[in-house]
Structure 1
Amino acid sequence: MTVESSYHSANPEIQTLTEQSKVYAKQIMTIVDEVQKVIVGQEEVIKKLVIAMMADGHVLLEGVPGLAKTKMVDTLSKTLGANFCRIQFTPDLLPADITGTKIYDNKNEKFVTEKGPVFSNLILADEINRAPPKVQSALLEAMQERQVSIHGDTFEIEKPFLVLATQNPIESEGTYRLPEAQIDRFALKLIINYPSKDHEKLIIQRNTQENKPTAKNIVSKDVVLEIQKFVQKIYADEKIEEYVSAIVDATRNPKNYDLELEDMIEFGASPRASIWLILAAKAHALLAGRGFVIPDDIKSIAHDVLRHRIILTFEAEAEGNTSDAIIDKILEKVRAP
């Protein structure tokens, strides 16, 4: 019996979760539809952004310039009525430019805290790999702890809080490699590709007319927080947890799964990979109107969760291998329940 068929029995708790999931799924799809009024195509990317938001995780976006990454995040923030801030990462950026600092108030003769742009609901860290590691690290505490320390004082960041960082894959001059500790804090890494020919035509039509489409507020921030709490309740069977554990373990000990990948993988995925595979799968199940996770949910988000957590050897990269290809091999070998 598969995990999915085992839930077809009358389980009142699972049925209740499924019914509520269907209600939330309709609300979430209205967000996706509203974003697509402005952003042409990229439906899968938009859905994965929403999945990350529901799972309360951050996203690393990779794509060449001009693919509307900034507009996509800005439009998403409008549908939520959330505060949006774009931070352009440059080599001369300072940590205080992100987190804030203390300034002296001459009138009241005391130091006051000037909060930085990180105190917003949605943050777009544009071209994050253009800033040195010290500046990139300024986001670490905010992303992990949802708080910022400024000269000894700690301030909580208002929820929902979502960091979306972009990086350009084709430009290396003047860039800094993201530290593994920073990369690991992103729940998903999404790849944005060029639009199709038909979508390109629609992009031209929408952006060369007088009345350009705009998005409106669909749901409140309170609803987003409500959905984030509900995602935690989505049921993941022990068999699903074993499946996820095996997938992640296969990135570290491929020989145990008859995978000849030792010479290709320098470092396997961290325990955060297991956590985000489950959380993102729960959000994926919710979007499908289900109150429980099935193996297909794991497979649907496995590449997005793992591609930035599997570190390839120099030889593997030189031969043109990719982490996505390795994930394909792992998913083929590791048996789903």
Structure 2
Amino acid sequence: MLLAYAMEAERALLPEWNDDAFCSAVFLAAHHLAPDSVTLLGPGADEVRQTVVAPGEVARRLAEVPLPEVTAAALRSAVTGATDAARYWEEPDGEDLLAAAEPVRRELRRIAEHITRSPLSQWWTEPLATDDQWSVSWGDDGADFADSTAAERLRDWHARVVDEEIRAERERPTNPAANWSAEWWSIPPVLCSTRTVFDGTPAQLWFVEDSLGWTRATARRVSLPPDARVYEVDGAQAWAALCRRFPVEVTAQKRHDWYRATGRNGSWVVPDWARLADEYSGVHLTVAGYLAAAGTAIEVEAGTASVIAGWAPDETYWLTVTAELGADSVALLLDDSGEDVAWAEEAQH
């Protein structure tokens, strides 16, 4: 997210391609760190392949990028890009590796301090906004889980996960590097909601992992009682504590995807959402918690870890019938025809 923010800041000042710019250095360095993650075609591709830009040079150019005043749109754009780039079934791409390189990490701290000084980023650490929750369905899919209760879906999920683990232990290779992929996410199969962002649209419209490029959505308000008990995940420690209290083993079924994503080989667990529902109405992941911990190997205890995968910033998953969908819905269309992308209410004919 910090890398994306800095690149957007430079593009606002230097919209034309510049070989000496920070953005061009990021592109070249990312290509050489992970050549398969960047496709090079057309005139000049061979020259680019031979041009090596080290992380140290990227950091030097990053230090020279002027940082404009923080805007809500710029923050949303950076979080949107980072969320959309999440990948838990493949190795880190070139920009992931570049952002993790120590020289670049040191300079990204300046970006982090710039962002966190702004009041516009303060909601990233806030708990659930109980009076402002919306659920989004994509395309023409208006599914709202009305065909079954949350308890039924969680019981079915638990049984399926246990059965899948037994089957995976029997049928799948134990080598984590084997060419195998399956369900990589760690979300419960229940209603999900987010608050609205600065323009009044649900955050769920913008912050999407593994997006399928939807251009149509339906939003419905979610009503909550004041006594709804919500578990707040504000970072790795909160997720680890959840897994320690309510673990379910998923090593055999997630081993290969999560090894590629994190480089870790060992036992894996996820929270047992069916058991958690006995104590909590929902689980909320703050924006800051997502940015700090999603996609990383979170140690639960010695030899065991977990991954926040498939979630998005500010999402709350509702484990009980506490959350109720409103009867009225709002149809939304994505308008990306201009310079600024926007979701707008669909005109009624």
Larger RCO, structure (CA 8 Å, separation 6 or more): 1
Q: Same fold per TM (> 0.5)?
A: no
For the superposition of Structure 1 and Structure 2, which TM-score range results when normalised by the shorter chain? under 0.3
Higher helix share goes to which structure?
1
Q: Normalization by structure 1: what TM-score?
A: 0.24
